[in-house]
Amino acid sequence: MSETHRAGDPGASSPDPTDPVAPDAHIHGIPVVEVRGQDVAFPDRSELVDLVRKLRADGYIQCLTVTGVDYLASPQTGLPPTIRPERFEVVVILVSHLARRRMRLRVQVPEHDPVVPTLYEVHPGTEAAEREVFDMFGIRFDGHPDLTRILMPEDWEGHPLRKDFGVGQVPVQFKDAPNR
């Protein structure tokens, strides 16, 4: 991790394992903390693609996943004080094989404008993961080459992993069981 101050270094201020990096730690100008041995950066939506490009140049050449989180019913934890919590979050995990490290990016996404830029141009393998986040959470990826449903039918209304999505019942009829 460049430009950062890790726990265990002289001057590290917090013994709390969820916030062991000095509050002024940054990587490429983005706030970063270390959580359980993994670097966690908090870019704004507008900074995401630029940061991923810079991290790729630093050796984070593989994007393991892009996923979404809905914090509607749960308060967010682990955010630096300078980061405003939002209802949604897009989480990106990058890997540097040479450094044998992971970098987690937590991008806050407001409910009223659930749009994040696509990472497809930097990591083409994100295409399907971004479609899944769109399908399940309704978070759009600006610039994505084919942002269509991937798991749910095209005529499905809503996004099943949103906390306010109505949970329905699907009747199950077992073979040879009497109808009730």
Number of domains comprising the chain: 1
The rounded distance, in Å, linking the Cα atoms of 114 and 37 is 30
| Segment 24-68, tens digit of pLDDT | 699 999 999 999 889 999 999 999 999 999 999 999 999 999 999
Tokens, residue 121: 């141009």
Q: Contact 129/67 with Cβ under 8 angstroms?
A: yes
In the 8-state DSSP scheme, what is residue 97?
T
| Segment 18-29, tens digit of pLDDT | 444 455 699 999
User: 135 in a domain, yes or no?
Assistant: yes
User: 4 in a domain, yes or no?
Assistant: no
Q: Which residue is it, tokens 């670097």?
A: 39
In the 8-state DSSP scheme, what is residue 180?
-
**Residue 86, domain extent:** 26-142
The rounded distance, in Å, linking the Cα atoms of 86 and 98 is 34
Whole-model pTM: value is 0.81
Residue (of 112, 122, 116, 123) closest to 147 by Cα position = 116
User: 8 in a domain, yes or no?
Assistant: no
What CATH number should be reported for the domain holding residue 41? Answer: 3.30.460.80
